[in-house]
A and B are shown apart, each in its own frame.
Chain A
Amino acid sequence: MTVPRYWRNIGAHYRLEGIRCKSCGEVSFPPRSSCPKCHSKDVEVVQLPRKGKVVSFSLLRSPPNGFEAYVPYYVVVVELENGVRVLGTLTDVFGEVKEGMEVEAVFRKISEDGEEGLIHYGTKFRPIA
């Protein structure tokens, strides 16, 4: 990830911010300059709920470069409490992962650009025990 791209997405990655369309009311993630439903450009940044449930998951054992330390990990689709769906990964998994499992958003390291580059932080989901 380039430095400008990382920086532009800090609100979405660090704070789980999405957008709400002022024309049709659609709430979506990730933030975009126009509404994915009605294409209106009249959108505002909103804080998404930090709790939700896993609607689908897959266990990843062959990771992209920079993610080796976290293997194996689950890539999941989480449906947040307001119905918005977010693609993410799970962390601190100690039991069985199931559809419908309740999770909460936590701030974690996502990857590192080698030993000299930026540390990329963002949101992961943790099972609520």
Chain B
Amino acid sequence: MKPKNPVSVYGWGSYVPPYRLTVAEISRVWGRDPVQYEEELNVKEKAVAGPDEDSATMAVEAGRNALSRAGVNPKDIGALYVGTESPPYAVKPTATTVAEALGVGPFSLAADLEFACKAGTEGLQATIALVSSGMIKYGMAIGSDTAQGGPGDHLEYTAASGATAIIVGPGSKDAAATLEGSVSFVSDTPDFWRRYAARYPSHGEGFTGEPAYFKHVEGATRALMEELGLKPSDFDYVVFHQPNGRYPLTAARDLGISPSALKVGLLSPMIGNTYAAASITGFSAVLDVAKPGQRVLVTSFGSGAGSDSFSFVIEDGIEARRDKARKVMDYVSKRVEIDYALYLKFRGGIRLGGGAK
């Protein structure tokens, strides 16, 4: 897909909470071999939201960082999407709370989008289309999640918290990056789900790799390269959805992409899988360091299943924007280790009640 009129990224911003739960600590609680899990997943620890944080509060900090870099008046943000599978309310949009906190609106589209880990890039596709059509000047797409796996389940080792916001507007050399094109690729694939009454998600045994992640990530990426007439070596940076630290490396190998192109955007070994924020937080980390003229490939993945794949070229305007907010690595390197008991307390895993009345 190519936009009718050019669309550029004006602002980007992320948030990763400081709390870290190590894979070794989760292994200790569930009696697993810590070394085996760390190696199998290529994840050392995951970022955990604090007791006063949720997908709305993390989205606000990411959005504030993106607004600082974009330098646009929040009132000019004509659409704000929050992609999340962990909204604070079952019914009541996260996007209106985030918009209100950022000073966006009241004349703005605002909605929550849901598509497992792909919800953040869905919002990006939608805002690109709205900007390109001329219906809005600037749009903000956010991916934010406080992901949780069932206790003891292998998803618990990686399900993490984080958020990233991307602000797009009309194509310009003064912006940070300009979109070359995108591809969206979906099919009904039962790899991961959660029914309404269930607290934790379920997943199809042996279904998460080949028919889900690899088929969609590689299918979308191949189609994008074909549509744009690009080859793997044309990309200076490549970011794939990162449910663990292994899958992106395998996808790169399958596609003939050098593992060195993944390095900057592969954050899951340090912070786990931030779900709807994962691929765009990798993109955000790339924007923190990329030079004008370089090309970036971003491909998300969401269970159920689908991928969005984008190609961006970095613009001259990136340098003046970069230092106007905290960078992804500022958040990643600020870490405070917590144990499993504190993790349960932070994320509502302990039922409160009783005591003096």
Q: How far is B101's CA from A91's CA once the two chains are assembled, in angstroms?
A: 18
Contact indicator B56/A92 (Cβ below 8 Å)? no
Contact indicator B61/A107 (Cβ below 8 Å)? yes
Contact indicator A109/B352 (Cβ below 8 Å)? no
Contact indicator A91/B100 (Cβ below 8 Å)? no
Q: Is the interface of A mostly helix, strand, loop or mixed?
A: mixed
Residues of B within 8 A of A129 (CB): 334
Q: Which residue of B lies closest to A123 (CB)?
A: B101
CB contact between A124 and one of B52, B88, B97 (< 8 Å): that residue: B52
Residues of B within 8 A of A85 (CB): none
For chain A, residues 79 to 95, give those with C-beta under 8 angstroms from any C-beta of chain B.
91-92, 94
Which of under 10, 10 to 19, 20 to 34, or 35 or more describes the interface residues of A? 10 to 19
Q: Which residue of B lies closest to A105 (CB)?
A: B64
Contact indicator B101/A109 (Cβ below 8 Å)? no
For chain B, residues 50 to 102, give those with C-beta under 8 angstroms from any C-beta of chain A.
50-54, 56-57, 60-61, 88-89, 97, 100-101
CB contact between B100 and one of A14, A68, A69, A106 (< 8 Å): that residue: A14
Number of A-B contacts (CB under 8 A): 44
CB contact between B336 and one of A94, A108, A119 (< 8 Å): that residue: A94
**B263 at the A/B interface (Cβ < 8 Å)?**
no
**B211 at the A/B interface (Cβ < 8 Å)?**
no
Instruction: Return B330 CB to nearest CB of chain A, in Å.
Output: 10
Instruction: Return B288 CB to nearest CB of chain A, in Å.
Output: 19
**A60 at the A/B interface (Cβ < 8 Å)?**
no
Report which A residues bind B (CB closer than 8 A): 10, 14-15, 68-70, 91-92, 94, 106-110, 119, 121, 124, 129
Report which B residues bind A (CB closer than 8 A): 18, 50-54, 56-57, 60-61, 88-89, 97, 100-101, 103, 334, 336, 345, 352
